[in-house]
Amino acid sequence: MSNQSTHITVIDKFPIIFEENLKKELSSVSKVYTIPAGDIIMDIDQSIDQIPLVLKGSIKILREDEDGNEIFLYYLEPGHACATSITCCLSGQRSTIRAVAEDDTEYLGIPVRYSDEWMLKYKTWKNFVMNTYAERFEELLKAIDQLAFKKMDERLSKYLHDKADLHDSCEIHISHQEIAYDLNTSREVISRLLKQLERIGSIKLGRNRIIILE
């Protein structure tokens, strides 16, 4: 993909207003990547050499415990960047999260060496990075609240509604096992709770399909 194509993509698809000089630098040093749904974009303990800025689709951010169990943290949607990748880049650390394409996803990969320089050089980039930290911190607080204070049925209900909002559809295509992985519980627990939600009229279940009714 040419620099001119990258430049157009940044202007047309990324909903942040950057300075013209920053746009030119973005178009000259960054690259647009297209990733199919389900592919891992960034893995745990991976060396980070670029910052992904989501242009299209969405990315699911997961953490893993010492036993290899995953837990879902939040989604990155168009206009968002991963605060963890920025932090790891600036500190020279390896990734502490797993980023998976939730949908077919397009993102702008920015080489890490430019971020620190742009923080001093461009006000809009500094504001974008600071806003990214604030938004992701709020998401993490919500995730902690869910783990600490909510029962599994409440966590499941929020998970389903968040996913429906993400895809702008009341119909979710997902298996019980996938939900169990994201919520760090067993498939049996998820299946039982989904049937409870179906009995009270909140959802309708199908094969690898859930329809939100309320």
Overall number of domains in the chain: 2
Q: Which CATH number belongs to the domain containing residue 208 in this structure?
A: 1.10.10.10
Residue with tokens 């206009």: 79
Cβ–Cβ < 8 Å for 51, 128: no
From 99, 118, 148, the end of a domain falls on 148
Q: What is the pLDDT along the chain (214 residues), one digit of tens a residue?
A: 444 454 445 555 565 678 888 888 888 888 889 999 999 999 988 888 888 889 889 999 998 877 778 888 888 988 888 887 777 776 778 888 899 999 999 998 888 888 888 989 999 899 988 888 888 888 878 877 777 767 888 889 999 999 999 888 999 999 999 999 888 888 899 999 999 999 999 999 988 899 998 7
Q: Which range marks the domain in which residue 137 is found? A: 3-148
Nearest in space to 49 (alpha carbons), one of 83, 107, 82, 89: 89
Same domain, 112 and 192: no
* Chain mean position to CA 182: 13
Q: Which CATH number belongs to the domain containing residue 46 in this structure?
A: 2.60.120.10
pTM of the entire structure?
Answer: 0.73
Rounded to whole angstroms, the Cα distance separating 25 from 39 reads 28
Residue with tokens 């974008």: 128
Same domain, 66 and 159: no
Residue with tokens 């429906």: 164
